[in-house]
Chains A and B, each alone.
Chain A
Amino acid sequence: MSIKLKALLKSPWVFHLSTGSCNNCDIEILDCLTPRFDIERFGMLLVGSIKHADVLLITGSGNRKSMERAKRLYEQIPKPCLVVAVGECALSRGMFIHSYNCPVPIDKVIPVDVYIPGCPPKPEAIIAGVVKLIEKVRKSTEKK
C-alpha cells in the first residue's frame, strides 16, 4: 500500500454534514469525541472546513434543498476521500421514505463507501463502521 493511503487511514479527518436529520445521529457522532470513546486516539479529528476533510460523514434523509449542497460539498473535498452514511435515514430514508421531500436515497446522488445502520447508531457502531471502512480500503488496495 502506498504511503499516501497509509497516512490517510491513520489520520482521517472527518467533516460532519447533516442533510436534514432529526439531530439524534449528530449527537451520537459528537459522542464519539467524548472521553468515553475518544476517536482522537485513532487520529480522527472533527474539522470545520470541507477543504481539510478526508471523510464526509452524512446523516439525515437528504431532502431536496440539502442534497444540492451535499453534492457540491462532495465535489469540494480534496481527493482521495471517503464517504460514510450514518443512520437509517441516510441509508434508505428510514421513516421519511414516503415523504414528498425526500425523493432519492443519498447513495443515488453521491457514492457512499460504508453504511452504518441504526436509528440512531450507537457510538460503538459508528466506530465499528469506520474500522470496517479502513479494513475495506486496505483489502482493496492489497489486491492491486
Chain B
Amino acid sequence: MIYIFYFLFFGFLLTAIIGLLASWIDRKVTAKVQYRVGPPLLQPLIDIVKLLGKETLIPAGSSKVTFLMAPVIGLASVILVSTLLWINNINPTKSFLGDLIVVLYLLVIPSISIIMGGFASKNPLASLGASREMKLVLSYELPFILAMLVTVIKSGFTFRLGEILTFQAQNGAFVGSWSGTLALIVAIICMQAKLALVPFDIPEAETEIAGGPLIEYSGSGLAIYRLMKNMLMFTVPFFLIIVFIGGLRLDGIHLLYGVLKYIGLVALMTVIRNTNPRVRIDQAVKFFWGPMTIIAIIAIILALLGR
C-alpha cells in the first residue's frame, strides 16, 4: 500500500510538478540570457493541457499500436525510476540489491521509446531523428556507466542506492574527492545528452529535421512526450544528486541545501545549453568515446587508488 502512495505521490505528482517548474526555469533563464521576458510560470502546464485537448492524428501507413504505445512506455519508465529514487532517498534501508543497475536500465527506456515512436511514424525525418537518437544513446551510455562505476568503487563495491547514500552520509559526498569530481563532470555532460539539450540535441534539431522523432506526434501523444521530457529534467539530475552529492534530505535546513543542489544542476544545464552550438552526430560520438571515456577511466583508476 505504501508503495502505491510512493508511486502516485512522489513518483508521478511531485516529480511532474518539479519537472514542469524546472522546464519553466529553463525557458525563463534562456529568455533572460537573450534579453527577452520569457513565458509565464504556468506555461509548461498550459502547453500540456492544451495538447491533451487536441486531436490525435495517426499518420497513414504507420504502425498504429507502436505509435500510440511508445510515449506511454517512456512515461511509465520515468515514473518508475523516480519512484525508485524517491524511496531510496527517503528511506535508504528499503533498497534492494542491484537497484543502481535497474535505474541505469530504466533511464535508457525514455530514449528507446522516442526511437520506437520515431520509427513507427513512417516519416523520413522522424526515422532520421530516431537513428541519430540511437547513435547518441550508444555513445553516451559508455562514459555514463563508467562514471557510475566510480561511485560503486568508492562506496566499497555496493550496488544498492541506499548503501551509497548512507556511505555518503557518514563519509561525506563523493564530489569531495578527485575521482568523484571527475566522474560528476562526465555524468553532467552525459546528462546533457540524455535530456537532448543543446550541444547534443542532434536527434531533435529543430532547424534541420524539424523536431525529429516527434514530428508526426500531435495531441495527447505529444503531451505525454513533453511530460516525459519535463519529468526527466527532474529525474536525471536527482539521480546524479543521489549518487554523487549525497541525496536530497527533507528535514530542516537540509531541505534548503537539497533545493540549492538541484537548482545548481538545472542552472548549469541551462547555461551549457545557451552557450553552445549544436554538434554533429559524428562529433558527438567521437567526443563521448574519446575524451569523456578517457576522463571516466582516469576517475576509475583514481577511485581504485583511493583518491
Identify the A interface with B (CB < 8 A): 3-5, 7-8, 10-11, 35, 38, 40-41, 43, 47-49, 51-52, 54, 76, 78-80
Contact = CB atoms under 8 A, between A and B. Distances in A.
A75 B219 CA distance: 15
B50 to A, nearest CB: 4
A5 B49 CA distance: 10
A54 B50 contact: yes
Interface string B48-83: 011001111100000000000000000000000000
Contact of B56 (A4, A41, A78): A78
A43 B35 contact: no
Interface of B: 27, 31, 34-40, 43, 46-47, 49-50, 53-57, 206-207, 210-211, 214-219, 222
18 contacts: A3-B49, A4-B49, A5-B53, A7-B46, A8-B54, A11-B46, A11-B47, A38-B31, A40-B38, A41-B38, A41-B39, A41-B40, A43-B46, A43-B47, A48-B210, A49-B210, A49-B211, A49-B214
A5 B46 CA distance: 11
A47 B211 contact: yes
Given A7-B49, A41-B37, 15 more contacts: A7-B53, A10-B50, A11-B50, A41-B36, A43-B46, A43-B47, A48-B210, A48-B211, A49-B215, A51-B216, A51-B218, A52-B218, A54-B54, A76-B57, A78-B56
Nearest to A80: B54
Contacts of B38: 38, 40-41
A85 to B, nearest CB: 22
Nearest to B54: A78
Contacts of B217: 51-52
Contacts of A11: 43, 46-47, 50
A76 B56 CA distance: 11
A108 to B, nearest CB: 25
B53 A79 contact: no
A40 B35 CA distance: 12
A79 B55 contact: yes
A51 B215 contact: yes
A6 to B, nearest CB: 8
Contacts of A41: 31, 36-40
Nearest to A3: B49
B146 to A, nearest CB: 35
Contacts, number: 79
Given A40-B38, A48-B211, A10 B46 contact: yes
Contacts of A10: 43, 46, 50
B118 to A, nearest CB: 12
Contacts of B57: 51, 76, 78
Contacts of A35: 34-36
Contacts of A38: 31, 36-38
A4 B51 CA distance: 9
Nearest to A38: B36
B37 A79 contact: no
A13 B302 CA distance: 50
A80 to B, nearest CB: 7
Residue with the greatest number of chain A CB neighbours at <10 A, chosen from B35, B38, B49, B217? B49
Contacts of A80: 54
A4 B36 CA distance: 28
B53 A4 contact: yes
A140 B3 CA distance: 48
Nearest to B221: A51
Residue with the greatest number of chain B CB neighbours at <10 A, chosen from A5, A7, A41, A80? A7
Nearest to A47: B211
Given A4-B53, A48-B210, A49-B215, A40 B46 contact: no
Residue with the greatest number of chain A CB neighbours at <10 A, chosen from B37, B53, B215? B53
A49 B46 CA distance: 19
Nearest to B42: A10
B50 A78 contact: no
